Amino acid sequence: MPINILPAITTISLGGWQKKIAEIDELDIKSAALFLTVTDAKQRTELYSLLEKTQLQSAPFVHLRSDMSPDELDYLVDRWGTKVFNIHSLNEYPLKYDLTKFADRIFVEENTIWPWQEDEIRQWAGICIDFSHLEAARLSDTPLYENWINIIEKYPIGCAHISAIGRTPRVDKFDGTLRHDKHWLDDISELDYLKNYPKKYFPPYIAVELENSLSEQVKFREYIAKILDL
């Protein structure tokens, strides 16, 4: 299956997703990933309503929130043609609803604190790689990196996130550790770390998980495609 590199409607920055949705028609974007991680149910209703007014045709890859219901996932599959979802570990964010109906299209992202748990992965379709988290673990020489590589070699990779790796580490606001991974790209070279990983690690659905505008993400997507020789 060909690799699809998708610009992403991310929701971390205040007002950021509204601005990104406003760019969809300007840039003639037909397909995008959705990162719904910082939106509550009311905000998601507004987000979907705004998307309905655009020319967007599909959202093949959606990052779920733990409070999303089966009905909401049905809407995403039926209306937006969503093929794959990703979740965080249930140890970190327990699901509010039973989503086993969608188990064959849900993939578990690595956690930046704990190793991947194989018993949890086996409940779902496989794994979602966040490449910036992976590279940050490699740079910090943490035991997590070895665990993650072992899991990557063992389980199906259904989707992935690509964010930036900064030259200078930042202080993580949650645990105070120094980290190189970040969700804002300042220089295109902050994507060069992707060259450290074999092409077999890159799945059919890849999202550009950056708070940068969609117009910037489109340029980043072209750069990533060159790195992957697509």
* Residue-wise DSSP of 38-64: T--HHHHHHHHHHHHTS---B--EEE-
| Residue 23 host element (H or E) | helix 16-26
pTM, two decimals, is 0.94
Which tokens is 52 given? 């309905």
pLDDT of residue 22: 97
38 with 15: CB under 8 angstroms? no
Q: Tell me the pLDDT tens digit for each residue of 160-197.
A: 999 999 988 776 766 666 678 899 999 999 999 999 99
Residue 174 has what pLDDT? 62
Domain ranges of the chain: 4-227
CB 67, CB 44: distance < 8 Å: no
Contacts of 67 (CB under 8 A, 6+ apart): 40, 41, 96, 97
Mapped onto helix, strand or coil, the DSSP state of residue 120 is helix
Let me know: does 23 contact 218? Beta carbons within 8 Å. no
What is the predicted pLDDT for the residue at 218? 98
Report the CATH fold assignment for 4-227.
TIM Barrel (3.20.20)
pLDDT at 28: 98
Residue 230 has a pLDDT of 87
Chunked into runs of 10 residues, the chain (230 residues) has average pLDDT values of: 96 87 98 96 97 98 98 99 97 95 98 91 98 95 93 98 90 69 94 98 98 97 96
H or E element, residue 215: helix 214-227
